[in-house]
Every structure is written in structure tokens, then in C-alpha cells.
């Protein structure tokens, strides 16, 4: 019997992405996988049912029918616990650091589940790295959101009416989102500077034509390319140096991206820093889903405090759902195909480093002792 892979319509409010795009259906069907799509699952992303059926997928009329007929579910977010059947496999972004009744359902129904956010940052796993693919789009979109709020233009212009000076953009946190924010702001003509606690990213910042600001607080590089949390003394020193920089350099826009997986976003921008910024300045806090880097951020809202517009956008990749789905689909199909053996069976090899890192539950048991603690099981 061929493996049946189901793609449901996402139910999270405001989510427009879909887990599989039509272009990747063929990569699954050619290895004997049957792809079934919930009707209109891709419509919010710009993909019609006909786009899918033209590529060899079939349609399920509703969510219940889709789930009941699927061996594997490909999702963007955690699936609804209701309706999952025994012994299914579920692959998606499971947000394992936040409690959810769906994890208990995984245990009760012997479900094997994988969390795509836990893909390791290794060379072999690059094509599966959803955090990077989605953060890349967040960095791009964050700059455009800032441009909408700022009462200025980005580039320098010399006109008969006078010279317009370029906007100054400061990027806080130089991961994937930060690097794309730098590149996008530079393309728009801004003067860009950036800071990160990992001194190794200086070369990347400078290669994009931006200035790396070295607040001397000590290096905080951690495994997997992430940043580790600073000590209280380092945090205070960083805030002092950054406050002085913002006060003296006339920064128009801050794009803030600093996040630590599984932990609240570090508070890097104080109210005093906001007060020191010019009227009409903008802060785009891309770390708002975990509380934000700015003390005044209100997740999901745009607020004006001390004359500064502070935006805490939620689920930014969903705002560019067509391409976000395209990249996510490539990540998740590459991961799924890595589980299919030569006999076209789905095999969970717990010795594989990618499988071991992402396996939340395996036949109703926590994937590892570490995962059991993370899920609160």
C-alpha cells in the first residue's frame, strides 16, 4: 500500500501558509507516495486546488476526511488534537517549548511526530532548515514594514529642491533574519549598522556593506550558530553602550531580531533608549512572538511611545505566504523523503542526527529524555 500524505488547511488565526506547494507534489508521487490535499488548503497562499490536481494530488472534501485517510500529515503548525488517528505520523512546526494538549494526544494515540524547528544547523540539514528559510523572509519583510511606518524615504536623493539624507537603520541581532534585513535596507539605499554578541558575524555584516558596531561585552557564541545569554554584567554594559550609540547616531529605524530558542526574547531596548530616539523613528521587533527585544513592545500591535512607532508583528512569514510556503514546502518534503527507504517505507532511524534532534514522539513515547522534559511529559 502506498503511503498517503495529507496536507490540511491551517487553522491558526491569520496563518496563510500551506505545508506543501504544487511544485513539490511530483517529488513525492515519483517515490510512490499518494498526496491528498484538503480542499482550498493552499488558496490563502495563492495556490488553487487545480494547481495541485494538475501535479497529481487528489482532494479531500473536509478536514475530517483528510485526517482519517492519511498515514502522514504535513502541517505548518501543530495539528488539531481532535480527529488524529492512532499510529499516524505528523511533521510540522510543533512549537515544542509551549505546552499543548496535542502532545498528550500524540502519546495516547501512538503517534510519531517531528518538530521542524528542531532541525540541527548542519550542512546536511540545510535544505530542511525551516527556521532559516522563514527567518530570511521575516528579515526582508521587516524592513518593508519599517518603511511603511517611517515618515522618510530610505535613499539619499540630490534634487533641485535640495538633498535628502539617507535613512539610518540599525539591525540588532545578525542571524538569518538580521542579515536579510541588512541586505534589504542596503538595497533600498539606507545607511546600515548592526550589532550581535557573536563577534564572528562581523565579516558577514561588512560583506553586505554595513558597519559592524562592536559593543565590547565579550563574545557569546553558542553551539549551532546561536547566541547564548549574556551575564547580567554583560547585559548592563551592552545596554549602556547601545544607549549611547542610539542617542548620538540619529538612528531612524531599529530592526530587532535577537532570540534564544525556547526562552523569552532578551530585553535589549529600554524605554530610556526609545525616549532618546527622534520623533517619528521606528522599531520593528521581530522577536515579539517570545515577548520582544524592546521593553515597550506589545506583540501583535503597533504602538506609539515617546513619539516612536514600535511594531511587534506576529508570524511575519505568513504575510508573504506564497514564497514562505514555497520555501517551507521544500524543507518539509526534503525531510520526509529522507525518511523513505528503497522499499518505499517510512523508516525512523533514531541513530540519524536529524531524526534524533526532531523526533518529539515515537509510537506514543517521547523521542528522548530531553524531549520528554521539554514537552512536560
Q: Is residue 133 a part of any domain in this protein?
A: no
pLDDT of 54 above 70: yes
What pLDDT is recorded for position 321?
A: 98
Q: Are 308 and 168 within one domain?
A: yes
**Length of the chain as a residue count:** 377
pLDDT tens digit sequence for 198-247: 888 999 999 999 999 987 765 554 545 555 566 778 778 888 999 999 99
Q: Is residue 377 a part of any domain in this protein?
A: no
Q: Are 235 and 304 within one domain?
A: yes
What is the pLDDT averaged over residues 324-329?
A: 98
Query: Domain boundary at 319, 339, 360, which?
Result: 319
What pLDDT is recorded for position 376?
A: 72
Share of the chain above pLDDT 90, in %: 83
pLDDT tens digit sequence for 138-195: 999 999 999 999 999 999 999 999 999 999 999 999 999 999 999 999 999 999 999 9
pLDDT tens digit sequence for 5-53: 999 999 999 999 999 999 999 999 999 999 999 999 999 999 999 999 9
Task: Name the pLDDT band for 377 (thresholds 50, 70, 90).
Answer: low
Residues serving a catalytic function are: 121, 126, 129, 132, 226
Mean pLDDT of the chain: 93
Q: Are 265 and 328 within one domain?
A: no
pLDDT of 92 above 70: yes
In angstroms, the CA 292 to CA 102 distance is 26
pLDDT tens digit sequence for 175-186: 999 999 999 999
Q: Which among 328, 338, 348, 353 has a CA at the least distance from the CA of 28?
A: 338
Crossing angle of helices 130-149/321-338, nearest 10°?
Answer: 170
Q: Is residue 169 a part of any domain in this protein?
A: yes
Task: Between 81 and 353, name the one with better pLDDT.
Answer: 353
CB 294 within 8 A of CB 173: no
Q: Are 290 and 144 within one domain?
A: yes
C-alpha distance from residue 281 to each of 46, 194, 205, 241, 274 (Å): 34, 17, 23, 20, 9
How many distinct structural domains can be found in the chain?
2
What CATH number is attached to the domain comprising 184? 3.40.50.720
Domain that holds residue 47: 4-128+321-372
Q: Are 154 and 266 within one domain?
A: yes
In angstroms, the CA 15 to CA 76 distance is 9
What pLDDT is recorded for position 98?
A: 87
Q: Is residue 283 a part of any domain in this protein?
A: yes
What pLDDT is recorded for position 218?
A: 59
Burial class (CB in 10 A: 0-12, 13-18, 19+), 334: middle
CB neighbours of 246 closer than 8 A, spacing ≥ 6? 170, 254, 273, 276, 277
Q: Are 68 and 105 within one domain?
A: yes
**Grid cell for residue 63:** 478536514
Helices (H), the chain: 25-29, 49-53, 63-68, 101-108, 130-149, 176-187, 202-207, 232-249, 271-276, 321-338, 353-358, 369-375
Amino acid at each position: 500500500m502506498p503511503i498517503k500524505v495529507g496536507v490540511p488547511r491551517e487553522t491558526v488565526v491569520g496563518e496563510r501558509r500551506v505545508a506543501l506547494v504544487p511544485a513539490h507534489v511530483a517529488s513525492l508521487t515519483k517515490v510512490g507516495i499518494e498526496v491528498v490535499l484538503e480542499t482550498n488548503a493552499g488558496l490563502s497562499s495563492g495556490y488553487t486546488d487545480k494547481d495541485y490536481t494538475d501535479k497529481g494530488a487528489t482532494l479531500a472534501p473536509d478536514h475530517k476526511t483528510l485526517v482519517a485517510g492519511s498515514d502522514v500529515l504535513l502541517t505548518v503548525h501543530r495539528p488539531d488534537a481532535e480527529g488524529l488517528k492512532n499510529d499516524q505520523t505528523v511533521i510540522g512546526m510543533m512549537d515544542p517549548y509551549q505546552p499543548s494538549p496535542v502532545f498528550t494526544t500524540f502519546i495516547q494515540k501512538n503517534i510519531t511526530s517531528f518538530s521542524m524547528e528542531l532541525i540541527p544547523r548542519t550542512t546536511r540539514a540545510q535544505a530542511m532548515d525551516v527556521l532559516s528559510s522563514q527567518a530570511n523572509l521575516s528579515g526582508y519583510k521587516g524592513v518593508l514594514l519599517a518603511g511603511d511606518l517611517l515618515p522618510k524615504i530610505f535613499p539619499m536623493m540630490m534634487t533641485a529642491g535640495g538633498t535628502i539624507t539617507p535613512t539610518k537603520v540599525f539591525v540588532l541581532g545578525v542571524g538569518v533574519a538580521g542579515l536579510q534585513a541588512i541586505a534589504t535596507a542596503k538595497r533600498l539605499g539606507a545607511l546600515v549598522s548592526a550589532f550581535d554578541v557573536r563577534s564572528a558575524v562581523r565579516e558577514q555584516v561588512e560583506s553586505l556593506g554595513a558597519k559592524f558596531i562592536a559593543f565590547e561585552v565579550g563574545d557569546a557564541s553558542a553551539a549551532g550558530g546561536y547566541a547564548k545569554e549574556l551575564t547580567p554584567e554583560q547585559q548592563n554594559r551592552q545596554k549602556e553602550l547601545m544607549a549611547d550609540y542610539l542617542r548620538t547616531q540619529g538612528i531612524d529605524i531599529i530592526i530587532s531580531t535577537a532570540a534564544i530558542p525556547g526562552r523569552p526574547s532578551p530585553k535589549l531596548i529600554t524605554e530610556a533608549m526609545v525616549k532618546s530616539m527622534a520623533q517619528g523613528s521606528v522599531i520593528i521587533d521581530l522577536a515579539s512572538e517570545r515577548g520582544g527585544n524592546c521593553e515597550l513592545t506589545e506583540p501583535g500591535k503597533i504602538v506609539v511611545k515617546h513619539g516612536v512607532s514600535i511594531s511587534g508583528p506576529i508570524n511575519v512569514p505568513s504575510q508573504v505566504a506564497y514564497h514562505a510556503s514555497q520555501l517551507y514546502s521544500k524543507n518539509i518534503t526534503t525531510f520526509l523523503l529522507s525518511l523513505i527507504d528503497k522499499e518505499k517505507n517510512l523508516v525512523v532511524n533514531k541513530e540519524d542526527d536529524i531524526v534524533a534532534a526532531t523526533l518529539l514522539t515515537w509510537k506514543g513515547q517521547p523521542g528522548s529524555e530531553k524531549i520528554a522534559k521539554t514537552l512536560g511529559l
